[in-house]
């Protein structure tokens, strides 16, 4: 692919780092907490020893100091709960849940407090908390470090959930999440961190609105719905289908809660066929939710049943050949699309 | 009691009236529950002295976070009785617009950042409140109340560790009422002490007679001053007793003895304060009688207000889920 002129290319990690830096510059109430978020604890001679588990917070402690960039003990319930309390009393904390699977040790703070306080307290207390978390298989990390489980958070009223798919939208979604007055969970797929993206990432700060899907590829024959890493797969599949003479439209959800139902329905009413590609476990998944939405609200437009593409109902395997069978891939998307098209 | 001679009459009367208000409020709450207006309450009768002695040192911009048993925390922190009772009855005029109920009363204007129905759940939140005060460089203090049952939750230990390493302005106040539902303290807490656990987290651990408002006042004074001065957290184990069952219908004599109940009720916080006031010449019997009438009147007005208030409009079902949701 020919790279366009004047494209400012950043990696996913660099884009997150830039978003955090800009938000911390513009708003002194923004703080960041997490394990190894700076690294080295408070040792003077080892400032910025780590820079976050994915190096997303590298360099921030030097510019904003240890008061606002806090290494925490390994105590997710403690520091995510502390994020809730700090958010309720004037700060805009960003807390890092290293891997989403660890929500098992702090689910109470996320699901019972962050999600419910605004409602339970009659709308009188806001919790402008941002939780960033690593998701996704494909990194040879086995069952506890490879999940997505964003459908769990999407299930809960009171939480917003975003699933960025490239350096441009992750930067804008971080800004939107941090400025949002509700708790927002940002799911960062680790496979995206190693990929190159030919998208322009403006230097200034900007917002990608929460609740709005993107259409990276327009088409007329079939709708491919992606989220986070699966958007990349959908884009690859759309190119493959194009070579076979089909025009596929890719809907990149970007937000799971709120979800841009309008964009999905509008697309499927045009293409009359839909494949939803979701890396989460299949039962009660986003794919199931979108399929139900389409079946309920666009049934008369459909030329084929909505097709869900999830991993099998299994934990994520360690062995690489097995793991490759877990994450939906381009060929599966193309196959599912052709089934609907032909 | 000589150590308390420096307490002025005004403070003593405030302590007494606050405890009395809690007790009358709880009695009325039970009547409302018995009348079928709500399913039941976790009564704080017997534990009035604990938050009263602590909250005497707090400002409106200090924060209190509570538990499923929190009516006494709210009253001690100054939450409006009318709005509290309306909340219990699920009315639109309640502190939480009827959406939280007895286990979730919150009022930010009074620094009541909410009762919480999950045991131990509020302790990390309160720790974050203290962190916020420290980062924003205010001298606000955060106080979290929890029971002996919650002292076994990991959230307490994670939070005490955070407060210890960050020297946060927080009071961890354990209301050891001797029972987690029906499970006795001596069974569930290894080592037989909550306060001793403070040693592991670099903070003072204090045991106090939680049935004495005067003792609570002294302990609260020191811990709040310590937090406000930036000297760090304190763990307080207030030894108290819940007179009623865990929640309304259960009979506590199914798991504890009459002798034990008699012992604790014999050292009732309100009775002892009354004696102190009369013996010390701080109040006359007539004055105390008038105070009680005033309190009864306020509580019965709260009941009237709550009962006369409308239920939330059906449209309220789906409001306040988010601040904004496109």
User: pLDDT for B272-294, tens place per residue?
Assistant: 999 999 999 999 999 999 999 99
Residue B311 lies in a domain: no
3-state secondary structure of A277: strand
Substitution target from A29, A67, A104, A122 for chain B, most B beta carbons within 10 A? A122
Residue B117 within any structural domain of the chain: yes
Question: In degrees rounded to 5, what are phi and psi of residue A123?
Answer: 80, 10
Does B92 map to a domain? Answer: yes
The reply to whether B312 falls in a domain is no
- Report yes or no on B293 lying in a domain: yes
| pLDDT(A214) > 80 | yes
Give the HSE-up count for residue A133: Cα atoms under 13 Å, Cβ half-sphere: 30
A12-194 and A214-341 agree in CATH topology? yes
Give B-chain residues touching A82 at CB under 8 angstroms: 124-125, 127-128, 131, 159, 162
Nearest CA in chain A to B159: A78
The per-residue pLDDT of chain A, averaged, comes to 96
Domain A12-194 fold is Rossmann fold (3.40.50)
- Residue B254 covered by a domain: no
Domain range enclosing B137 = 6-247+259-306
User: In a 10 Å sphere around its CB, with 0-12 CB exposed, 13-18 middle and 19+ buried, how is residue B321 labelled?
Assistant: middle
Q: How many residues are there in chain A?
A: 342
B135/A contact by beta carbon, under 8 A: yes
Q: Which chain B residue shows the shortest CA-CA distance from A93?
A: B132
Residue B135 is assigned to a structural domain of this protein: yes
So where are chain A's domains? 12-194, 214-341
Q: How many CB atoms lie within 10 A of CB B310?
A: 10
Residue B3 near chain A (CB below 8 Å): no
Which pLDDT band holds residue B87 (cuts at 50, 70, 90)?
very high
Residues sharing a CB contact under 8 Å with residue B311, sequence separation 6 or more, in sequence order: B90, B91, B92, B98
For residue B326, give the nearest of A84, A108, A211 by CB distance: A211
Average pLDDT over residues A120-133: 98
CA distance B259 to B238: 21
Using DSSP, state whether B223 is helix, strand or coil.
helix
Find the mean pLDDT for residues A231-255.
98
Q: Are A200 and A168 in contact (CB under 8 A)?
A: yes
Provide mean pLDDT across the span A83-106: 97
Residue B123: its chain A contacts at CB < 8 A? 81
Tokens of A287: 């794919």
- For residue B94, the chain A residues in CB contact (below 8 A) are 122
Q: Whose CA is closest to B178, among B116, B270, B243, B121? A: B243
Q: Does B317 lie at the interface with A, CB-CB under 8 angstroms?
A: no
- The chain-wide mean pLDDT, for chain B, equals 96
Contacts with B65 from chain A: Cβ below 8 Å: 85
Residue A52 φ/ψ region, left for φ over 0, alpha for ψ in the -120 to 50 degree band, beta for the rest: left
pLDDT at A6: 74
CATH number of the domain at B159, please.
Answer: 3.40.50.970
Angle between helices B285-308 and B269-279 (to 10 degrees): 140
- Residue A5 has a pLDDT of 63
The 10s digit of each residue's pLDDT in B22-56 is 999 999 999 999 999 999 999 999 999 999 999 99
Q: 3-state DSSP call for residue B105?
A: coil
CATH class of A214-341: alpha beta
Above 90 in pLDDT, residue B326? no
Record: contact B113-A124, CB cut-off 8 A? no
Mean pLDDT confidence for A65-69: 96
- What is the Cα–Cα distance from B113 to B120, expressed in whole angstroms? 15
**pLDDT tens for each residue of A129-150:** 999 999 999 999 999 999 999 9
Catalytic site includes residue A118: no
The closest CB to that of B124, out of A78, A93, A180, belongs to A78
- Residue B248 has phi, psi (to 5 degrees) of 65, -85
Whether B118 has its CB under 8 Å from any CB of chain A: the answer is yes
Neighbours of A312 (CB within 10 A): 9
Answer yes or no: do A81 and B127 touch at CB < 8 A: yes
Is B326 inside a domain boundary? no
């Amino acid at each position: 692919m020919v790279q366009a002129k004047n494209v400012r290319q950043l990696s996913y990690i660099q884009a997150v780092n830039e978003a955090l830096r800009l938000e911390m510059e513009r708003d002194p109430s923004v703080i960041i907490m997490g394990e190894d978020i700076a690294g080295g604890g408070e040792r003077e001679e080892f400032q910025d020893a780590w820079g976050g588990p994915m190096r997303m917070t590298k360099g921030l402690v030097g510019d904003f100091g240890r008061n606002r960039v806090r290494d925490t003990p390994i105590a997710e319930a403690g520091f995510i709960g502390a994020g809730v309390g700090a958010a309720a009393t004037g700060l805009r904390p960003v807390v890092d849940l290293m891997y989403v699977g660890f929500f098992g040790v702090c689910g109470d703070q996320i699901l019972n407090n962050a999600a419910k306080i605004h409602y339970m307290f009659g709308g009188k207390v806001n919790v402008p908390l941002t939780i960033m978390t690593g998701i996704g298989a494909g990194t040879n990390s086995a069952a506890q470090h490879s999940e997505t489980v964003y459908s769990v958070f999407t299930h809960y009223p009171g939480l917003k959930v975003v699933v960025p798919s490239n350096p441009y939208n992750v930067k804008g979604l971080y800004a939107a999440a941090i400025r949002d007055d509700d708790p927002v969970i940002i799911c960062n797929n680790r496979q995206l961190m190693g990929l190159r993206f030919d998208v322009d990432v403006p230097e200034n700060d900007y917002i990608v609105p929460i609740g709005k899907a993107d259409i990276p590829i327009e088409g007329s024959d079939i709708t491919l719905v992606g989220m986070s890493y699966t958007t990349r797969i959908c884009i690859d599949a759309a190119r493959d289908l194009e070579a076979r003479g089909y025009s596929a439209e890719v809907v990149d959800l970007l937000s799971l809660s709120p979800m841009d139902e309008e964009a999905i329905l509008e697309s499927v009413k045009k293409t009359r066929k839909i494949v939803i590609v979701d890396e989460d476990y299949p039962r009660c998944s986003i794919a199931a939710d979108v399929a139900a939405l389409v079946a309920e609200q666009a049934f008369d437009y459909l030329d084929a049943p909505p097709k869900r593409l999830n991993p099998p109902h299994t934990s994520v395997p360690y062995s690489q050949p097995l793991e490759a069978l877990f994450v939906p891939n381009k060929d599966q998307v193309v196959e599912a699309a052709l089934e609907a098209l032909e | 009691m000589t150590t308390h001679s420096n307490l002025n009459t005004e403070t003593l009367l405030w302590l007494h009236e606050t405890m009395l208000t809690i007790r009358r409020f709880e009695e009325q709450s039970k009547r409302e529950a018995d009348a079928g207006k709500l399913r039941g309450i976790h009564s704080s009768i017997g534990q009035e002295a604990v938050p009263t002695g602590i909250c005497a040192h707090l400002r409106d911009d200090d924060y209190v976070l509570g538990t499923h048993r929190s009516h006494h925390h709210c009253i001690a922190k100054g939450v409006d009785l009318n709005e509290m009772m309306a909340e219990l009855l699920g009315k639109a005029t309640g502190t939480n617009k009827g959406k939280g109920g007895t286990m979730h009363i919150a009022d930010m204007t009074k620094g009541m950042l909410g009762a919480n129905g999950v045991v131990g759940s509020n302790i990390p939140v309160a720790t974050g409140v203290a962190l916020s005060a420290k980062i924003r460089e205010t001298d606000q203090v955060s106080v979290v109340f929890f029971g002996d049952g919650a002292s076994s939750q990991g959230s307490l230990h994670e939070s005490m560790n955070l407060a210890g390493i960050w020297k946060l302005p927080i009071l961890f106040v354990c209301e050891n009422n001797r029972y987690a539902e029906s499970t006795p303290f001596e069974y569930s807490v290894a080592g037989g002490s909550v306060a001793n656990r403070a040693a592991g987290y670099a903070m003072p651990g204090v045991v106090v007679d939680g049935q004495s408002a005067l003792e609570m006042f002294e302990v609260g004074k020191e811990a709040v001053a310590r937090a406000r001065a930036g000297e760090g957290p304190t763990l307080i184990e207030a030894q108290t007793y819940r007179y009623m069952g865990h929640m309304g219908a259960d009979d506590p004599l199914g798991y504890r003895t009459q002798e034990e109940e008699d012992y604790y009720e014999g050292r009732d916080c309100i009775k002892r304060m009354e004696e102190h006031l009369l013996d010390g010449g701080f109040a006359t019997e007539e004055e105390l009688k008038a105070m009680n009438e005033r309190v009864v009147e306020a509580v019965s007005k709260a009941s009237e207000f709550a009962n006369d208030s409308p239920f939330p409009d059906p449209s309220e079902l789906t409001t306040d889920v988010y601040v904004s949701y496109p």
